[in-house]
Amino acid sequence: MNPRFYCFLAIIFLILSNCLISAFGQKSAFATNNVVAHRGAWKTNNLPQNSIASLKHAIELKCAGSEFDVRMTEDDSLVINHDPEYNNLPIEKSSYQNLLAFKLSNGEKLPTLREYIKAGLANNASTRLICEIKPSEIGKSRGIIVAEKVMKVVADLKAKEMFLYISFDYDILKRVIALNPQANTQYLEGDKSPDQLESDGISGADFHYSVYAEHPVWISDAKSNNLDLNAWTVNDTEQMDWLLANGFDFITTNEPELLLERTKLSPVSRGWKLAWSDEFNYNGLPDSTKWVYDVGGNGWGNNELQYYTQKDTLNAFAGNGCLKIIARKQQKEDKQYTSARIVTMGKFKYGKLEMRAKLPAGKGTWPAFWMLGANAEKAGWPQCGEIDIMEHVGYEKDSIFGTIHTEVYNHFTGTQKGKAVYIENPYNSFHLFSIEWTPDKIDFMFDNKIYNHIENEHKTTNEWPFDQDFFVILNLAVGGNWGGKYGVDDSVFPVSYQVDYVRIFKN
């Protein structure tokens, strides 16, 4: 066939491809992260919020979205500004010409929606334009008019595929959907359930992060309704990590650079999916649907000195987003100390298990985050297997330990497989303790860094009993063969083992 014919076909293909991109946008090229720059990426470079410069920086960062706010002037100009006033001039009662008398801090003029969209379309195939349509302070009907005018500009500029509409006004979003049933919409107020959003055709829930903490079931409800999940405005690493772990589609932040870094560290970015967690965002005893108690003062195989109580808030309670396990100098039966030991009701086999916690200080304390084979009662210890994800003894202030115990490898015979790692500020700071457990290995990690790697020798269950279900245990012991090796300092009691969360991921 004539080579010129092949060239002709190639040209036709390119023309058709460009036509398809123009018709359907470049959605497939959108950034796969979940970072939405709140009013653009402004903070790091001290740019004006809602400026074209902050929008361009969000695009440079390849954020998933850049959020901005639309208002309408007295003479029906659509402008980008968050507050109802600009340089002390009420936007809805001022002409655009009057507003132009004042520049943004970087010298830009107050941008119109049309100018903003054009800037957002230039050299951008990654970052969605997330448009918040502000309710009108003059009246509800004017807010609807603003929505209609916004959508006309979007259509004129052929930007539909790049746009996502958000608002605190539910009727504004419903009007958007009436005009374009395919429009992406997210509701901001947080007063409607995911079921309600889905029934009204809203695409997603974009609530303040505290709403999800108060209604955690809304996360799973939104996913079951195929709604997008967004949270605003999240600038704290702990909140970012929680939302990332729960698989949020978008997270709106003033700190996009920080969130991009947290995304890289999140287990979700490496294929892990949250299977179970307790964030302790409640008040009172540990959640009875997730935890049971080991009770008594029999020494627990280690000559420990405490009595583990059951459902006693003096020894275990959640509050302010944190579980506290407290050891007290308190007589119970023939023991001089009380504490708590809680065990997951669920059983787990393989996965990434992590706990964020702050450890108790004091000679004689022995906090642990560990696992025991579900067949322990039948098989006995150490045949059942034990995985000590984190242990700390008060007389070794600068170390934590990660260890396995089996029939062949255990501390009775001095053959346990364990290592220590240096920990800075164990008593004043929260740290992350975790393992990644597969059929072939267990990696022990401290603040996301591996310090102990144990491989399956593929011999017998005497060496590797870790191909079965295990329970997770949290406890704070007093004294014992290891924790009490150098005695107990009674002056430190009561002492508290503070757990921010426990999360279990599956791959």
Residue 2 inside a domain? The answer is no
DSSP H/E element including 207: strand 204-208
**Do residues 93 and 165 both lie within one domain?**
yes
Are the CB atoms for 205 and 195 separated by under 8 Å? no
Residue 122: give its domain's CATH number: 3.20.20.190
423 in any annotated domain: yes
- Give yes or no: residues 472 and 338 share one domain: yes
Considering the domain architecture, whether residues 254 and 384 belong to the same structural domain is answered as no
First to last CA, the chain: 51
Same domain, 249 and 345: no
Domain total for the chain?
A: 2
Beta carbons within 10 angstroms of residue 495's beta carbon: 23
DSSP 47: P
Tokens 């080991």 belong to residue: 294
At which of 239, 269, 299 does a domain end? 269
DSSP class of residue 496 equals: E
- How many other β-carbons are positioned within 10 Å of the β-carbon of residue 210? 12
CA distances to 15, 25, 299 from 212, in Å: 46, 32, 41
pLDDT at 30: 87
Domain that holds residue 90: 25-269
Residues 378 and 469 in one domain: yes
- Quote the CA–CA distance of 387 and 467 in Å, as a whole number: 12
Contacts with 53 (C-beta within 8 Å, 6 or more apart), sequence order: 40, 42, 47, 106, 108
Report the C-alpha gap between 468 and 385 in whole angstroms: 9
CATH of the domain at 384: 2.60.120.200
Cα–Cα distances (Å) from 427 to 289, 390, 447, 491, in that order, read 30, 14, 15, 16
If DSSP codes are grouped into helix, strand and coil, which group holds residue 43? coil
Does residue 71 lie in a domain region?
yes
pLDDT for position 438: 98
Are both 185 and 248 inside the same structural domain?
Answer: yes
Residues 231 and 361 placed together within one structural domain of the fold: no
Does one domain contain both 87 and 147? yes
By CB atoms closer than 10 A (0-12, 13-18, 19+), residue 456 is middle
Query: What is the C-alpha to C-alpha distance for residues 440 and 464, in angstroms, rounded to an integer?
Result: 10
Which contacts qualify for 434-439: CB closer than 8 Å, 24 or more apart?
434/352, 434/353, 434/354, 434/355, 434/389, 435/352, 435/353, 435/354, 435/387, 435/389, 435/402, 436/351, 436/352, 437/350, 437/351, 437/352, 437/353, 437/387, 437/466, 438/350, 438/507, 439/350, 439/467
Residue 501 backbone zone (phi > 0: left; psi -120 to 50: alpha; other: beta): beta
Asked whether residue 10 is assigned to any structural domain, the reply reads no
Q: Considering the domain boundaries, does residue 217 fall inside one?
A: yes
Angle between helices 113-121 and 52-60 (to 10 degrees): 20
Active-site annotation, residues: 386, 391
Under DSSP, the state recorded for 345 is: S
Residue 281 domain flag: no
Q: Is residue 275 part of a domain?
A: no
Tens of pLDDT along the chain (507 residues)?
454 544 444 444 444 444 433 333 333 368 999 999 999 999 999 999 999 999 999 999 999 999 999 999 999 999 999 999 999 999 999 999 999 999 999 999 999 999 999 999 999 999 999 999 999 999 999 999 999 999 999 999 999 999 999 999 999 999 999 999 999 999 999 999 999 999 999 999 999 999 999 999 999 999 999 999 999 999 999 999 999 999 999 999 999 999 999 999 999 999 999 999 999 999 999 999 999 999 999 999 999 999 999 999 999 999 999 999 999 999 999 999 999 999 999 999 999 999 999 999 999 999 999 999 999 999 999 999 999 999 999 999 999 999 999 999 999 999 999 999 999 999 999 999 999 999 999 999 999 999 999 999 999 999 999 999 999 999 999 999 999 999 999 999 999 999 999 999 998
- Let me know whether 262 and 304 are in one domain: no
Amino acid at 171: D
Q: 206 near 250, Cβ under 8 Å?
A: yes
* Same-domain status, 306 and 265: no
* Position 17 in a domain: no
This prediction has a pTM of 0.90
Q: State whether 460 and 416 are in the same domain.
A: yes
Same domain, 318 and 231: no
